[in-house]
């Protein structure tokens, strides 16, 4: 025990201090989710139909279903780690709160950008129809994360006291699960406008509606709360010991309702076309992975550097890999004409290449942020202003017009940055003047 106490915090407590207050096992869990996500989307996009009928592929679909639960649970856990040390600044409007609101807005923007059916506002308006509108509004992981972070901030803003936080998130977990037993009823959906239906059920092709997927984020925030509180006393291992029991209980509950509870009694007990399956076992396995990574991290770190790189820029990895694999209104996807009947060997060769590209991209973004922070921020603003301007102001878009929009955005962003720097310099000189 004495040796364990002498170990760096990264080993003994699960925190990597060289890059700020990071929780390594959560970085690892997010990196695991990213890896599973890249594999799942690539196989879905490129693997030949011949191989999809194999029993092994059908079993893999269950494993793939854990990815979304793990991603959301980690997001809830990370909210606590990132926010509780600045709790007072999030209980009222502050500079940090404004920064978090901007990030949430960016997540919403990226999520709905992937749903655009046309590359410009004019083309979107002139080709609008109810089906495309429903497609734009559909809820995916990014919309869940953005909405979940927003809701958690509202909780912090309202409750004010930390000791009440977990009570609200745990109550929210059960409320979302129970709400799903109502909103997934066809008769209830018929009464809802499509703008609400896409959020609370799957009848309008939302792959991950807020109900019940928000439950994963809420339970992650609850576990994160207890980790934070027990870590102050140095016995956070108790949280994950209890977490293992809860994870196994959720998996066992899934088995019980599948085999012993009639579907008419509890809607989650059977697979239905418009009803999410394995909700409790997904949450159980996601929590199980997090607990095992923590316990493993007490003795040995697993790829700490790579997991840190992928985790820190997971939003960029998520958006860009979807952009490359599936494309959107801006772009048809990398190798869009590539054969969609790959063999497993070909598909995993593609996956290895995509994973390497995403890792290099995440490392590059992190390096620029750490060493050229101002330039990294300017590039982000140029891309947002350039693509946003092209979407709004060009009726029809092609390559040269997009390049022109990015050129104008570069001129505008650099000009504004230069002006702000000059203003700061002038204020500094005036402050020093006698």
Residue 277 and residue 385 in one domain: no
Residue 379 and residue 297 in one domain: no
Residue 386 lies in a domain: yes
Decide if pLDDT at 191 tops 80: yes
Going by C-alpha positions, the residue among 163, 159, 127, 144 that lies closest to residue 70 is 144
pLDDT in tens, 331-381: 655 455 556 788 889 899 999 999 999 999 999 999 998 898 888 889 999
How far, in Å, are 23, 194, 280, 368 from residue 18 at the CA level?
11, 48, 37, 17
Residue 308 lies in a domain: no
pLDDT of residue 146: 96
Decide if pLDDT at 29 tops 50: yes
Residue 334 lies in a domain: no
| Residue at which a domain ends, from 240, 272, 302 | 302
Residue 226 and residue 84 in one domain: yes
pLDDT of residue 21: 52
pLDDT of residue 96: 86
- Contacts of the segment 181-190: beta carbons below 8 A, 24+ positions apart: 181/266, 181/267, 181/268, 183/211, 184/211, 184/267, 184/272, 184/274, 184/275, 185/267, 186/274
Comparing 237-241, 291-295, 323-327, the range with the smallest average pLDDT is 323-327
Residue 272 and residue 385 in one domain: no
Comparing 54-58, 195-199, 218-222, 236-240, the range with the smallest average pLDDT is 54-58
Residue 239 and residue 380 in one domain: no
pLDDT (mean) for 90-111? 90
In contact, 74 and 30? CB cutoff 8 Å: yes
Going by C-alpha positions, the residue among 77, 64, 76 that lies closest to residue 32 is 64
Confidence of residue 14 (pLDDT cuts 50, 70, 90): very low
* Total tally of structural domains belonging to the chain: 2
Residue 110 and residue 258 in one domain: yes
Residue 294 and residue 399 in one domain: no
Decide if pLDDT at 407 tops 90: yes
- Which tokens hold the place of 290? 């997090």
User: What average pLDDT does the structure give for the chain?
Assistant: 86
Confidence of residue 8 (pLDDT cuts 50, 70, 90): very low
pLDDT of residue 284: 96
Residue 292 and residue 377 in one domain: no
pLDDT of residue 112: 92
Residue 310 lies in a domain: no
Q: Compute the distance between CA of residue 127 and CA of residue 117 in angstroms, rounded to an integer.
A: 9
pLDDT of residue 303: 65
Comparing 15-24, 36-45, 214-223, the range with the smallest average pLDDT is 15-24
Residue 284 and residue 382 in one domain: no
| Residue at which a domain ends, from 302, 325, 347 | 302
Residue 163 lies in a domain: yes
Number of CB atoms found within 10 A of residue 380's CB: 16
Residue 263 and residue 114 in one domain: yes
Residue 140 lies in a domain: yes
Residue 269 and residue 399 in one domain: no
Going by C-alpha positions, the residue among 269, 247, 274 that lies closest to residue 187 is 274
Q: Compute the distance between CA of residue 205 and CA of residue 196 in angstroms, rounded to an integer.
A: 13
Going by C-alpha positions, the residue among 363, 341, 375, 354 that lies closest to residue 48 is 341
Residue 360 lies in a domain: no
Decide if pLDDT at 230 tops 50: yes
Q: Which residue is it, tokens 């060997």?
A: 345
Provide CB contacts within 8 A for 118, sequence distance 6+.
Answer: 124, 127, 329
- Range(s) of the domain holding residue 200: 54-302
Residue 270 and residue 384 in one domain: no
| Residue at which a domain ends, from 302, 322, 345 | 302
Residue 105 lies in a domain: yes
User: pTM for the complete prediction?
Assistant: 0.87
Q: Which residue is it, tokens 């854990």?
A: 66
Provide CB contacts within 8 A for 226, sequence distance 6+.
Answer: 166, 239
pLDDT (mean) for 70-84? 93
pLDDT of residue 4: 35
């Amino acid at each position: 025990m004495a040796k364990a106490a002498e170990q760096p915090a990264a080993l003994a407590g699960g925190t990597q201090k060289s890059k700020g207050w990071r929780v390594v096992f959560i970085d690892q869990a997010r990196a695991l989710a990213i890896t599973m996500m890249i594999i799942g989307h690539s196989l879905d996009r490129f693997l030949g139909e011949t191989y999809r009928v194999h029993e092994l592929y059908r079993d893999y679909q269950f494993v793939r279903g854990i990815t979304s639960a793990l991603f959301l649970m980690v997001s809830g856990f990370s909210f606590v780690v990132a926010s509780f040390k600045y709790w007072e600044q999030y209980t009222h409007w502050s500079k940090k709160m404004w920064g978090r609101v901007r990030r949430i807005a960016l997540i919403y923007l990226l999520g709905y950008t992937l749903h655009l059916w046309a590359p410009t506002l004019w083309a979107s308006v002139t080709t609008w129809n109810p089906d495309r509108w429903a497609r734009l509004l559909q809820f995916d992981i990014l919309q869940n994360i953005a909405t979940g972070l927003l809701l958690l901030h509202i909780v912090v803003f309202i409750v004010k006291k930390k000791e009440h936080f977990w009570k609200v998130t745990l109550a929210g977990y059960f409320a979302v699960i129970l709400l799903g037993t109502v909103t997934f009823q066809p008769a209830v959906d018929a009464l809802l406008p499509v703008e609400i239906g896409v959020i609370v059920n799957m009848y309008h092709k939302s792959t991950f509606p807020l109900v019940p997927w928000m439950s994963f984020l809420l339970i992650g925030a609850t576990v994160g709360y207890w980790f934070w509180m027990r870590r102050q006393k140095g016995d956070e291992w108790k949280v994950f010991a209890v977490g293992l029991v809860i994870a196994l209980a959720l998996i066992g509950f899934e088995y019980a309702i599948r085999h012993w509870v009639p579907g008419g009694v509890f809607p989650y007990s059977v697979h239905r076309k418009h009803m999410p399956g394995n909700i409790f076992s997904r949450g159980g396995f996601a929590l199980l992975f997090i607990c095992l990574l923590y316990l493993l991290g007490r003795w040995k770190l697993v790829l700490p550097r790579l997991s840190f790189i992928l985790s820190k820029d997971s939003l960029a990895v998520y958006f860009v890999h979807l952009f490359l694999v599936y494309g959107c209104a801006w772009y048809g996807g990398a190798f869009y004409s590539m054969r969609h009947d790959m063999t497993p060997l070909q598909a995993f060769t593609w996956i290895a290449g995509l994973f390497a590209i995403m890792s290099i991209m995440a490392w590059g973004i992190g390096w620029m942020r750490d060493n050229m922070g101002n330039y990294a921020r300017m590039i982000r603003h140029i891309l947002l202003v350039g693509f946003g301007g092209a979407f709004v102001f060009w009726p029809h878009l092609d390559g040269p017009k997009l390049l022109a929009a990015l050129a104008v955005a570069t001129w505008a962003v650099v000009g504004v940055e230069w002006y702000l720097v000059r203003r700061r310099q002038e204020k500094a000189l005036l402050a020093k003047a006698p």
